[in-house]
Structures are given as structure tokens and as C-alpha cells.
Chain A
């Protein structure tokens, strides 16, 4: 099983600032099958990024993903009020298709 560790646990930032979220895998994620999701309270998760760096349909370009192997990053270039949420990474290359523990981006 591939274990995904996200850091930091909580990120306190102001609107307009840049957010950098990390996801580290216990072993290499095959073919960069790494996705990022956003979840707001009381809502289902929403797919943001897949294939480590491809934006899902309708996702603003302030969201970007990078990385390969065991180290991946989600960057939000300028935080908008609606971006304050919890973010999860997921590897979908080999079952079980594990999620990271999440990073909460909160308003400072």
C-alpha cells in the first residue's frame, strides 16, 4: 500500500497569498497517477488536478500541480475567498487507491 503524507496539516494564509501544499508518497507513484481534491464543509470532494499536473474541467488556472515519483505539490497562486478548504492528494495507480491525510487552508 502506498502511504501519502501531506504537509503542513494546516496552512494559515490571507487572500491573495500563495499556497504551497505538499504530498509525499512512501513509494513511487506510477506514471504520476496523482490527483488533488478540494473539499468544503458539508460538501463532497471536487477533483482539481489529475496526472499530477493536469487541471480538471472548469478548474481555474490559479491551481497548478507538479511533481513526480514520490514528491508532489499543489500550488494556489493567489488565494481567493472560496479557496479556503481542505485539500487531499490521492494516488490512483495501484490499489488500494489511498488518500493523504489532508491539508486545511484557513484564513489568517
Chain B
């Protein structure tokens, strides 16, 4: 149980276009999801906390107008990278917070999305 999926697993886009990444909790409801960014050989950097039905909370230094987050349902959060540029190329990972059982308040991670902006 507690499976999180991401789509797409990789995407290549042209500079200036927008890209949407989906994060789904497959077998549980998640009122809170998290979006991370990971550069090669580095740790996960939290970008924002996504709460169902309300605005996302962004970490300091993350441009909220560039990284649009929508958490419209208890199983789906989306990250849209607007007007993408080569420096936005990275690995994006989402996680979903579970509220059940022994794993209460733990995060389960998606497999990640590799974004390459040409």
C-alpha cells in the first residue's frame, strides 16, 4: 500500500513552454503533498507544500509564479513549470503524506520526473 505515482517520468521541452507534472496517491487520500527538486548528486530540496483545497506554501527562494501548484483533489497534485528555461532542468520528486496506521504522517515518494529544457 501507500503508492505514489508521477507522470510523466521524463519530459523534454523547448525553452519558453510550460510543463505539467502530475502526482497521484494511488491507494490512499493525501491532504498534503510535497514537491521536491533534486540536482545531480545533491539532496532533495523542498520546493513547496501542497494542501488540498488551499494555496500551496512555498519555501523561501522558490518562485511561486514560475512553479504553479494545484491540489484539486485528495489524490492529485500538479506542478506546472511555466515558461521553462534550461536552468529549470532537474529531477522533480513529489511525496504524499499518509494519515493511516503505523505510517501516520509519513511521506511516500513518487518515482520522480526528469525535466530537460532545451
Please determine whether chains A and B interact with each other in the same assembly.
Answer: no
| Residues of chain B at the chain A interface (Cβ within 8 Å) | none
